[in-house]
A and B are shown apart, each in its own frame.
Chain A
Amino acid sequence: MENDLIYFITKHFVERMTHFKTLEYIKNSYSSRICQLTEEKKAGKKIVGTLCLFVPDEIIFAADADRVILCGGKNDTISIAEQYLPRNICPLVKSSFGSVVNNGRSGVKSCSHFGLVDIVVAENTCDSKKKMYELLGDYVPTYVLDLPQKPDSLAAVKYFLEELNKFKGVMEQLTGNKVTVEQLKKEIISSNETRKLLHRLYDLRKTDSPPISGVDVIKVMQKQYVLSAEDFKKALRSLIDEAEKIKADFKTDFTRKPRIMISGCPMPGGNTKVPEIIENRGGIIVVEESCTGTRSFWDLVDESKDPMTALAERYIKIPCSCMTPNDRRIDNILELAREFKVDGVVNYTLQFCHGYNIERYKVQQALRNAGIPVLSIETDYSDSDVEQIGLRVDAFMEMLS
């Protein structure tokens, strides 16, 4: 029977994808990272918390500080945040704030690294984050990096460069270390290495039979800004090694599964609800147009230019929905759909994320014109809508196959 064959292949395929030793390491790396951060702090190193890709790692590292991401993906801390914040703002903002405020106080488990940061370097992206940071300042020193929101002008790059220079000064003051051009250049090369490794990992997914599931890649991407840059790079290298071997061993073609791109809001650690539904119901995610995906590494920093200018130019071009116009994102989605031979796109948004929710219309139009089916899912961190989303995903898979 054809059905039995598909079942066998699916089962075999899924088993095959869980054999990565590196994924085990990544899954279990959190507690050792906490030890590492605690040790660093004892030794006098400063820990910077960030919540957005717009804050350049390179400047933090050049000042010899460490950084760790504070974006919340857990549902548990949302009710704590709702004591302070309105109910109708996005779950990511509420979850992040709840984790900082909670910090072990209320019996709800939240990530321990939130209590280790010396400073939060925030950014002017969406309104909810911007106003949340004003409250966050009461709990942990918070510095806000301003972003020009019409990025396609010389004036915007110039302004952003000024902002980055101010931020560099804040890092120097915090750490007592001078940020030199040499240090910046070194850090740019190092971060570009990570970006190139991620490109290699994503290249493997362009094949007809991707050696790694989307959920697994998303779990790796969620650790990108949790782990130290060096540990993340090491993990990536070994993951790529493993994945390349599987690719070489494996000859059969599994083109039956619809190839899905997930596009939209970030998916911070603790939140893989929608990707799991997609892959449990017969799809294979081959690319994420997301902060937890291509937006974090797609463009490299120009190593030949003055480092601060090169950083300003690269970072201001991140296609976030807080920017206007944001046609760069639409172009990027179409380009990714072609490169990764995508059969359908799941436009994933968080409730009350106005930027990405409004951009949905443009994304849908562009994809429809390109003949690529789209399924839009707007959700939060709770499990209350798993069945409803499951139905939509089932129907979408049936439509694609």
Chain B
Amino acid sequence: MISVGIDSGSATTKAVLVIDGQMITRNIRPTGFDFLSAAKSVCEDVLSNAGIDKKDVTGIYATGYGRNSIKFADRAVSEITAHTMGVYYLYPAVNGIIDIGGQDSKIISVNDGRVTDFLMNDKCAAGTGKFLEYTAKALEVPIEELGNLALVSKEPASITSMCTVFAESEVISLRARGFKKEDIAAGLIESIARRVAVMVRQVGLKQNVAFVGGVAKNAGIKVFLEKELGISLYVPPEPQVTGALGAALYGIGKNSIV
């Protein structure tokens, strides 16, 4: 059985090819303006990577913000269910998931591979990848380096604004006051870690917690988040594709019932 999972996110579109329950290949592309064409491209990528003909595919399953615009998909599933299935496949002991994506963050409580509760950030960029993207720009640091830069800091600056726009001006005023780059970077990451930790405590995640989504690739954030929560986090080798992986697995699950 061959299935493709597509995670149509606000920043990137991910596809995963699963054959007989095994993840074979994956691809990631920037979403750009057109959700549908990005989805088509990543889908074609994974099929050609594996040398699979489209007509041999059992099903295509979409998740992510653009999931309902992927007209060629057989079915859509929410990111919350998709991430849970994807992480459960990689890490069956999982009891909780922290997913920080481009425009939202999600905290999911999991029991035996099933969602039991979840919480998402309010309709605002606080505690998301966007927050880091904007503030990194104000710091004149490429986003990929923000985490490692923060790890160098001995005295993180205090960033109190949750609002992305206000935090950006806060960064500029800290720069003007002569704060070190790494201290501001650490302050930013600490503030996002604190924000996410509040949500984690609201849902009551305690152990076996996985950290996924594009932001999980950032080593610094993992360290700060672990410090804030007092637990160690499991980060899958490719934390960005767990949603797409879960969507592909979700499809198989549904078909096997029928």
Contacts and interface: CB of A to CB of B under 8 A. Distances in A.
A378 B80 contact: no
A391 B79 contact: yes
Contact of A395 (B81, B123, B254): B81
A380 to B, nearest CB: 9
Nearest to A399: B115
A2 B80 contact: no
Interface centre among A2, A373, A388 (most CB of B within 10 A): A388
Consensus secondary structure, chain B interface: mixed
A40 interface: no
B65 interface: yes
B81 A398 contact: yes
Nearest to A391: B78
Contacts of B114: 399
Contact of B78 (A373, A384, A385, A398): A398
Nearest to B103: A388
A399 B81 contact: yes
B65 A395 contact: no
Consensus secondary structure, chain A interface: helix
A1 B258 contact: yes
B140 interface: no
A129 B258 CA distance: 54
A384 B116 CA distance: 27
A388 B81 contact: no
A271 B75 CA distance: 30
B120 A392 contact: yes
Interface size class of A (residues with CB under 8 A): 10 to 19
B189 interface: no
A384 B79 contact: no
A388 B78 contact: no
Contact of B117 (A2, A373, A384, A388): A373
Interface in B112-135: 114-118, 120, 122-123
Interface in A8-48: none
B104 interface: yes
A138 interface: no
Nearest to B122: A378
B104 A395 contact: no
B123 A398 contact: no
A387 B79 CA distance: 13
B31 to A, nearest CB: 15
Interface in A350-388: 373, 378, 384-385, 387-388
B123 A388 contact: yes
Nearest to B77: A398
Nearest to A398: B81
Given A394-B78, A398-B77, A384 B123 contact: yes
Contacts of B115: 395, 398-399
A86 B194 CA distance: 29
Interface residues of B, number: 19
Nearest to A379: B123
A8 B220 CA distance: 50
Interface centre among A373, A387, A392, A398 (most CB of B within 10 A): A398
A286 B114 CA distance: 25
A1 B75 CA distance: 13
B176 interface: no
Nearest to A1: B258
A388 to B, nearest CB: 5
A395 B258 CA distance: 22
Interface centre among B79, B120, B254 (most CB of A within 10 A): B120
Contacts of B78: 391, 394-395, 398
A344 to B, nearest CB: 11
Contacts of A3: 75, 254, 258
Interface string B70-90: 000001011111000000000
Given A388-B120, A399-B116, A2 B79 contact: no
Contacts of B117: 373
A2 B258 contact: yes
Given A373-B117, A387-B65, A395 B80 contact: yes
A398 B120 contact: no
A86 B245 CA distance: 46
Nearest to B79: A391
10 contacts: A1-B258, A2-B257, A3-B75, A3-B254, A373-B116, A388-B104, A391-B120, A395-B80, A398-B78, A399-B81
Interface of A: 1-3, 373, 378, 384-385, 387-388, 391-392, 394-395, 398-399
Given A3-B75, A387-B65, 16 more contacts: A3-B254, A3-B258, A373-B116, A384-B123, A385-B123, A388-B104, A388-B120, A391-B65, A394-B80, A395-B80, A395-B115, A395-B118, A398-B78, A398-B115, A399-B114, A399-B118
User: Ordered nearest first, which 5 A-B pairs have the shortest CB separation?
Assistant: A395-B80, A395-B78, A394-B78, A398-B81, A399-B115
